[in-house]
Amino acid sequence: MNEPAANPSLIPSPGTLYVVATPIGNLADLTERARAILGAVDLVACEDTRTTGGLLTRFGLHRPLVSYHDHNETEAAEFIAAKIAAGQSVALVSDAGTPAISDPGFRLVRACRRRGLPVIPIPGACAVAAVLSASGLPTNGFLFAGFLIAKTSARTAFLEKYRDFEFTLALYESCHRIDKFAEEIVEKLGPDRVICIAREVTKLHETWLVGRAGDVRDRLLKGSLKGEFVVLIAPADFIL
């Protein structure tokens, strides 16, 4: 009897970059395709070899790793793209979530595109998409601004610039500034603006605060400020 044909989408092609999403907390969110590609590429380019080495080991996978992070991105992108041009298959991952989304990746993808090399996404977890999808805030359009810079004047300028924006605003925020940011939103956009602050999504201490900015700020300050946060701000006329 003939063996069933292998699913070609689970087998890496030579000379290809795979942009592979990894879980943002819950390891069960690693997709079957991600697992197959990560277990079979010639090389895995990752932010932190210990983090990705740990993830691969959890799934019984063992592939050579190469560092690709904020501090070596420019040189590493050229080095890795040259390997792909020479016929190697490479998976790009970040510490968590989708590479190139507020994470290193863009330069390597661009280096491949400039050389005409194939780049294939292996989609999966992404904090901003997860939070938008379950927030109840409008999702017909949104502006994802990543992390705002820490300077208060820049953050105030952002909130003022987008005060009347017609779509939902989506941001990543660090645990060191989330309380201050919630306060700034109340101050600049008013306590009735509808916002969502989601913490530790897919993890043990997952917490959702959705409602008027003044109430969300008060509830936030009563809970733990540890962990990872996504902030959404609804358009001014939106009522939950």
Residue nearest to ligand SAM (CB): 97
How far apart are the C-alpha atoms of 130 and 211, rounded to whole Å? 18
Judged by CB under 6 A, the chain residues 99 through 118 that form the site for ligand SAM are 101-103
**φ, ψ at 147 (rounded to 5°):** -90, 130
Which tokens belong to 44? 């895995």
How far apart are the C-alpha atoms of 129 and 108, rounded to whole Å? 23
Q: Which of 12, 97, 104, 235 binds ligand SAM (CB under 6 A)?
A: 97
User: Counting contacts by CB under 6 A, is residue 48 touching ligand SAM?
Assistant: no
Piece of the chain touching ligand SAM by CB under 6 A; list 11-19, 36-44, 58-66, 126-134:
126-134
The closest alpha carbon to 229, from 144, 131, 160, belongs to 131
**φ, ψ at 134 (rounded to 5°):** -115, 10
CB closer to ligand SAM, 88 vs 122: 122
User: How distant is the alpha carbon of residue 153 from its chain centre?
Assistant: 26
**Is there a contact between 93 and 30 (Cβ–Cβ < 8 Å)?**
no
For residue 85, the surrounding DSSP H or E stretch is helix 73-85
How far apart are the C-alpha atoms of 87 and 64, rounded to whole Å? 16
Q: Which of 172, 186, 209, 233 binds ligand SAM (CB under 6 A)?
A: 172
CB closer to ligand SAM, 178 vs 194: 178
CB closer to ligand SAM, 49 vs 202: 202
Piece of the chain touching ligand SAM by CB under 6 A; list 2-10, 73-81, 89-97, 114-122:
89-97
Judged by CB under 6 A, the chain residues 194 through 213 that form the site for ligand SAM are 198, 200-203
User: Counting contacts by CB under 6 A, is residue 126 touching ligand SAM?
Assistant: yes
Minimal distance, residue 227 CB to ligand SAM, in Å: 7
Minimal distance, residue 173 CB to ligand SAM, in Å: 6
**φ, ψ at 19 (rounded to 5°):** -100, 105
- Which residues sit at the interface with ligand SAM, rule CB under 6 A? 24-25, 94, 96-98, 101-103, 126-128, 172-174, 198, 200-203, 228-230
